[in-house]
Copies of this chain bind each other. A is one copy, B any other.
Amino acid sequence: MESAPVKASCPDCRLSELCLPYGLHRDEVKQLAGIVKNQQLLQTDGVLYAQGGKSLHLYAVKSGSFRSFILNADGLEQTIGFYLPGEIMGLDALQHGRFSSSCVALETSSVCELPLSRLNSLCSEIPGLQMQMMRILGKEIASDHDKILLLGHRTARERIATFLLMLSRRFSALGFSNTVFNLSMRRQDIANFLGLTIETVSRQLAELSRQGIITVKQRVIHINDLAMLTLIVEPCANQQQATA
């Protein structure tokens, strides 16, 4: 399916502008590439790291996608987020050196390993890298806040719409289509992420489909009316548009 892991090479990686090297000079990127360990390849459901485990690395998604989740006291999962190429995983372990969540591959995927100790040293040497680390951490925090917003005060319909738009934007940033994409996660994962049941997710997707806003064919989503989907997420923008 894929050859043995190759030595990572940030300067040649097409994701470098979305990933850790963003904003660094050419020679600094090379320095960074020097500490990146060989890529690790995972099959579907392969565990990248497990809650409670010791953290020695951060991980950058090289290809494929991942799902992170927390096991609560009852042993039930709460999906915390999905990771696409260029995104950094394992940040929640920076607090105590142990992962407070688990992370599994949703499909055949690969990651670049970033040893924390060497990354920390390099941050001291390269101010731009430290800046970028801060940006990435700030982004993770801001994105978690969006999730809190999503789960706090949104209807099932709004949650689904937000979820689809969120993916649309991220695929778009990766250079893929923002209207046609393939969900790598199961309905169960979506439901769990959105704080809903699979039945509700299924019904809401069916409803959006019935209204012609999207077309659903298994895991393939086709967004027919991006504007309408946006209106669902921002009801009051409706009025604003009416006056504009």
Contact = CB atoms under 8 A, between A and B. Distances in A.
A141 B78 contact: no
A68 to B, nearest CB: 9
Interface string A142-183: 101111110111000000000000000000000000000000
Contacts of A127: 120, 124
Interface string A203-236: 0000000000000000000000000000001111
A141 B233 contact: no
A72 interface: yes
Interface of A: 70, 72-76, 78, 80, 91-96, 100-101, 120, 123-124, 127, 130-131, 134-135, 137-142, 144-149, 151-153, 192-195, 233-237
A138 B195 CA distance: 24
Copies of this chain in the oligomer: 2
A192 to B, nearest CB: 8
A123 B96 CA distance: 19
Nearest to A134: B94
A148 B151 contact: yes
30 contacts: A70-B146, A74-B235, A75-B236, A76-B153, A78-B149, A78-B153, A92-B141, A92-B142, A93-B138, A94-B134, A94-B141, A95-B138, A96-B135, A100-B142, A101-B145, A123-B130, A124-B124, A130-B130, A137-B141, A141-B144, A144-B144, A144-B145, A144-B147, A144-B148, A148-B148, A148-B151, A151-B195, A152-B192, A153-B192, A153-B195
B73 A236 contact: yes
B138 A130 contact: no
A235 B76 CA distance: 11
Given A74-B236, A94-B135, A195-B153, A80 B130 contact: no
Contacts of A130: 120, 123-124, 130
A92 B138 contact: yes
The 4 A-B residue pairs whose C-beta atoms are closest, nearest first, are A94-B138, A95-B138, A73-B234, A151-B151
